[in-house]
Structure 1
C-alpha cells in the first residue's frame, strides 16, 4: 500500500511539473477535438552554420603555389549573448501525418526579432496528433512565384522554387548580400497540438525525446561562400571574380524536394561587385569576395587525390571535377596585352580536394594567394578575349565605327506569326554595351513602347517569358538596355516578339492573289512570300571602357522582320451547327530550320517522339466514334496531350541524339527543356505559346478563354484539309506534321504536292516539318459560309456545302467563265469495261461504240507543285473549289443509279445485253470516261461514257445527265470534313452516312475525286481518293490506281450559283 501511495505522489508531481511547460514530451491525456483551433506559444531557433574547415583543411606554404585553405571566421568565435537577428516574411504551415495541410497556411509575421538566435511566437494551430509544423521565413529579398496560401501538401511546399537571383542587364547577381537578408526554414515532425483547460489555449507536445529540442530549428536556406585572396602575379592585373554553376532557385528543403525538381533548376554564373584597389583591402591585406547561393551538391570524386587535380577545363572538358560543380574564377589580364587573360579556378566543397558539395546552412570560408601562372596546373588556363555580336536577322547586318569586333549572324531569319524569342549574343570584355530597338533603318529613333505599331518587339535581360513575368512583366520589357562588361563574357539579351495575326486594328487581313501564279508557303527553306510583314531595327553598340577616357565604338545594325500569320478560313475551334466556330491562322515558315544561336546547330527536321508507342492521346481504338470525332476536328487537345505526355511515355525512342528525355517538374514537363532544334513535333508548337501568368507552365483552359495560354498547336487532319482547300495555288512544302497517330509506328503528315495529302514519310521515326496553327475569333460576315446547310434544287432538298467565305481557293463554276475553265467537250461512247473501241472488222461484246454526240466532262486535272512555273487549266481545276455545291445523298453506282441493278440499261454490251451495276468503280467510270483513261496521261484526250456522276440525275431523277460531276480532291476533302454535319440533315435531305472503313492502310475502298496525282509520266495511272476510317479519321490518298485494281465509291456534287 505504501508503494502504491508513493507511486501516486510521483505521478502527480510529474504532472504538476509538465503543466508548467507548454512544449515538452507527449502528455498522458489529450484534450480538444481534432481540428479545433487553439492559441499556443511556438518557439524556434537558428542553429549554428556548418563550417567545412572542420572536415579537412590544408595550410598554405611557400612551396605550394596557388593553394586554397579554409579559415575560421573570427566573428563566429565570439559570444552570442545579446545578439539580435531579424527574420522577415514568416509563414507557418501545419500538416497531417499523411502530408496534407491541416487548416490553412498562415503568414504570421512580417518581421520577427530573435535574441541569441531564438524567438517565441503566439500563434493559432489546430488540435491533432502526429503532425508536422513548418516555419518558412522568406527574408527581405527572396520571392516565390506561387501563392503560399495555396499550398496543400508538404510535398508542394518542399518542391517550391524560391527566386533569389537578379538579372541586371544580362548579368546575374545574388539578391542576398548580407546576413539580414538570408531566408530560413525548418520543421518539427511527430508533434501533437492539445487544448488545455476550458479556454481556447493549447500546447505543442513533442512525440519523442529525440524530437524534443525546445523549439523548431530553422536553418539558413543558402550557403555563404567567402573567398579572401591576395593577387601576387606581377605581370597581370586582377580584374574580377565570378562564381560559376550556381542554381538560380532555392528550395525550402533540398533534401526532401523531388529529384527532378533539383535536377532541373537552371544554373547561372554570378558576378561580383568587388573592387580591387588598395583601399578595398581588408586589414590583413587580403581582398574579400562573397556570395550567398543555393545548395549545389555534386558529391565526392574519389579519383581526385590532390588539390592540383581539383579542376575541369571549360575548353575541352578535361579534368575530374564535376561539370556542374560550383567554382570561383579569378580573371586577370596581361599588362602587356589587354586581351590576354589568365583564369584561376577554385572549386567549392566540404573539403579542398575531392568533395564538391555546397550545402545549405553552411559557410565556406576560403583563403588563397594567387601567385602562379603555371598552365601545367589544371586549375589555371589562358584565354584570349574576343569582341563579337551575333544576332540572326532578315538581312546581313551593317557595321561601323573604329572599335574592334565582329558583327554577324544568320540571315533570312524572321520572327514568325506566333510569340517570338531570340537571343542577342554578345562577346565582350572591358566594354559598355548598349542594345536598342529602333523604328528607322538609321537607328536614330527608339521604338515607342506606347505605340501599337512599334512595341511588338521588346528587349529583356531575362531568358524566358516566365522569368519576365516573375520579375516585373511589362516593366522589364524595354526598348534599350545598357550594361558594363569587365570580365570577358559571353552574355545574352533577349528579343521578345508579340503575335502577328491581324493588322494593328485587330482586323484579319487577306493577301491579294493572282490565280495564274503559284505562291510558296515556306518552301525550299524560305518563309512564306505572300503574307504581310513588319519591320523594326536593332542597334548594338560596344564602347571601350578605358582609364584614359578615350573611347572607341563599334556599331552593328540589324533589320528585324516578322511575318504575319495567314488566315486560311473558318477551320478553328470546334464544329457546331454545321460549321467551325472560329477562324484558323497558320504560321509563315518552318522555324526550326533557322539558326539563332551560334553555339547550337540546327536540326532541319522534327519527329513524332513516340516511336513504338501508341499513346491514345489522339484517338482510342474501340472508343465511341463520336468521342474520337471531337479529337479529329481540332488538333489542340491532341497536341497538348502529346506535348505534355501525361502518361509519361518515353519520347525519344530511336532519336536519343535529337530529342532529350522529358523531365517532369511538379508533374509538368519543364517548359524550357527544349529549344528550337531538339524538340519534337507537338512539343515544338506547344512551346511557341507564352506563359503569361509566370507559373512555369502553359495553361490549357478551354473553358476560360481569358486565362487560357495554349493557343498554337498542330493541325488535325480535318484542319489540314481546310488549309489545303483554301490554298488555291499556294504550295505547302512536304510533309508537315499533324496532331495524329495511326498506330505505334505510323503518324501521317500533310502536304500540297502529290494530290494534297499523302507522303512517303508516314513513320513516327520519319522526318517531317512543323507548321503550327492558331484559332482566332472572326466577325459575323466571315461566318456566313464555310458550313453545311440545306438547299432546294429542282424540288428536292439537298445538303449543301457553302465555301463562299474561304479567303482563297474558290471559283464560281456556274458562270460562263467558270464552266469554260472546268469542262472540256468530248465524244460520247457506249459503255465497256476496258474502254476498247469497237472494231467492225473484229466485233466484240465488251467494246465501246461512238454514239454520235458531244458531251461535257470535267477537265482532267492535277495539283500544282513548288516547281510549277505556268498555271494551266488543269491546275486551276484542281486548285479551286466551287463556293457552293450540293452533295448526292447516297453513294452513286457506276451507271448513275443509287440502287443495285442486275440489268442496267446504261451498262449494255454491243449486243444490247444489260449488265449489273456496281457500287465501286474505276476512276474513269466515276468521271464519265472510257476506261482507257485510267492509263492515259492528263494531256491525252479521252472519250466519254455516260457513267458515274455524269449519269446521275439527282434524287428524283429530274436532272439532265451531265448536271452533276465528280468533286476534285479539295471538294472531296470538304465532304469528308463535313460528313458528320451532312448526316445531321438526313431527316430533311435523306443524306446517308458515308462509307467508313476500318483499315490498316490507305488502299481500302474510299471515294474517288477527279484529281489525278500529277502531270509526270510515273503517275499516269494514279488519282486521288478519300477515305473515312472509323478510328483515325480522314485520309486523302493521291496514289490510288485508276485501273481495275483500285475500285472506289462515288459521291457526286452539283454546283450552285452564289446568288
Structure 2
C-alpha cells in the first residue's frame, strides 16, 4: 500500500524545555572568549503501535542545530549553525561564545531554509520568544525523509572565561503534536463503506517557535474581532489514507498539527430536533457523541469523507473527529504529544468515539483541491468525480448560470475544461505526436493539444496544432472519448464502468486575466446518471469558480513614470520602460490535486538550481528578469532588442531540470545535481504521466526550479508543446524589480527570502531580496540548492520613452 505522508505544517517540531543551570556562583568576567561543552538528548513522540508520516528514525533525526546565546539583558551574544556531517553526530557540542552572567542558550534543531534567515536576523531574546512559525514557512506535504524541528532553552547560565561544561544534557522537544487516526469499518455485510479520504478543519496555521505557556499563537477566536480565517487551515482535498486494508476494513493516517488549546465543552442548548439528541445528553455527560455538539469555536477536527451504501441507497458521509486529550470533552492539542484515535463505524449513525456525521443522499461525489480561486496568470484546477457505474457530464456555466449555447449570451469564454492535465509534464514516448518534439535528458516534455475553436480563430496565421480529426472541428461540446486532447465548454459521457466507486479527474482552465484587482466568476456543473436509474433521476453538483486579477505596486498603472527601464547588454539604460505586475498566490503552497500525496504537491519554496553554473555574467543581469528567466530555462535564447526570442524550438533547447527539495534526487540532503533521466513507471496511454510516488520526477509547479516555475505560468496557447516568446509574459523577477515591489509595500511576503532571476555566481549563491512585513527590503543571498519564496511577475506593457 503506498504511504501517503502528509506532514501538516511540518517544519516546526519541538517544544522548549527550560533548564536552570549555573557553572559557578563566583564572579563572572563579562565579554571574554569562552567555550561551552554540552550534550543533546532527543525526544520521543509517544509510544505504542502506529503508522508514521515519517519513520521513527527520521522523526527524531538531527540534521542541523541552530544555537543562539543571549546575555543577561537579552541581547544576542553569538549564534552558530551546526550541520551533521557524514558519520558524525550532533549529540555533543562545543559552542564558542563570550563569557557573562545570566546567559540564555536557545536551540532549534532541523532548521529549514526560510527559518535560517529569521534566526540570523534576531538581535534579542524577546524577539525570539515572539517568533512565529507559519504555514508559509513550513513544509506541508514534504518528503518523508525530512526530520522534525525541535527546540530547547537553557536559562540563567553563568558562562566563565575559557572552558565550561554543562553536565545536564539539553532535552529537545518537538514543536508539533502528532495524531494517529484509525478508521474501522464494522458495518454489516449488507452494507458497504467506501472511504474517499480525509481533511483537516480549523487546524492552526501559526505557532510560536518556542512555547508560551499562557497562550497559543492565534488569538482566542471567541474574542470579538480577533478571529481570522487566515489563522486557521481547513482543507477540502480528500487526502488518501496512508494505509488502507480493505480486507480487514481499516484505514490509518498519521499527521502533525500545531498546538491548539481550546479548553473543554461550552454551554449550549440541546438540539431542537429530538432525533439529534441522545439519552441523558448534557454539557457534562462525558459521552463521545456530544463532543461535536458542545465544541468550542475553532476546535481542530479531522474530517473523513466516505460513501455508505445500504438498502440500495448511497449516502455521502462526512465524519468529524474532534481532537483533544480524550474522546468526549477535551479539545486541547499540545506540542510534543502523540494522540491516537480509533473510530469504529457500525452504521450510518453508529460511529463510535468523537464524531459528528453529515450526509447527503446521492451516488456521486466531486472533490477538488484547497480552493477554486485562480490567479491572474493562465491557471487551472483539477476536479475529481467519484461514482459507481454510470455516466457524468461536466460543463461551464457563466456568472448568470447560462450554458455556452444559451441564446441570450455566455460570458464565461475565459474558462475551458479538458481531461488533459497541461500542467503535469509527460514522460517522453518515441514518435508520440501528442507530445512536445523534444528529448531533454530528463525525459519530461509538455503535452500537445488542439486549442478551442475560438483560440484557433485568433491564432489562424500562426497555427501549430495537430490535425483536427474529420468532423470534430466544433469543440464547444464533446464526448469524453473525443475530448482527449481538446478544450471544451462541455464534456459528456464521462464513463464510470465499475459497480464500486471509481474516479475520473478533469481540469478547469482559466485564461490570462491582466486586470488590476479584477474578479470574474463562473460555475462548473456536474450531472451524473447511475446505470439502471430512470432517465430523469440525476445527481447534480455545482461549484463556483473565481479568478482574481493581478496585484500592482503602482499608484496609477497608466502613469508614464510607472515601470523600470530595461538595460542594454552593457548595463546602460535603454529607451524602453517595462511595466510589471505581480501574481497573488503561491501555488506551490496550494493543495491542488485531490487524491495525490500531499508531499509531492505542497512545498515550502522553490530551488534555484544550477549550483555549478553561472548562466549569465553581463551587467544587465540584475534588471532584465524576463530575459534572465528564459535564459535559465533554455540554452538557445537569442537576444533581440534586449528581449529573449527564438527559444524552445529545438529538440535540445531545454537546460537541465531541477527538483524543488533537497531530497528529490536521493538521500544526500545537500545535492546540487539536476534530476536524472526518469526511469519510473507512467500512467500509459493517452497521457503517460510520471508516477507521483516516484522521487525523481519533475512538475512545473510543485517539483521544479525557480525560473521554470514562473515560465510555466504562461500557457502554450497554440498547443504545439512550446511556450515561445509570443506567449511568455510571466517570468521570475530580477532583484531590482523585487526591490521596487518591496518598497511599494504591497502584499509583502512576511519574513521571506524571494528568489530573483539572476545568477550571482557559478558555485554557491543566488541574489535574493529579504523582505519582512515591517522593514525595508534588503539584498540578501541564499544557496542555489535551498528553497526560497517565489513571486512571479507579468510584463503588462513596454513603452519607448526617448
Same fold (TM over 0.5): no
The structure whose RCO (Cα within 8 Å, separation 6+) is larger is 2
TM (norm. structure 1) is 0.34
Give the structure with higher Rg (CA).
1
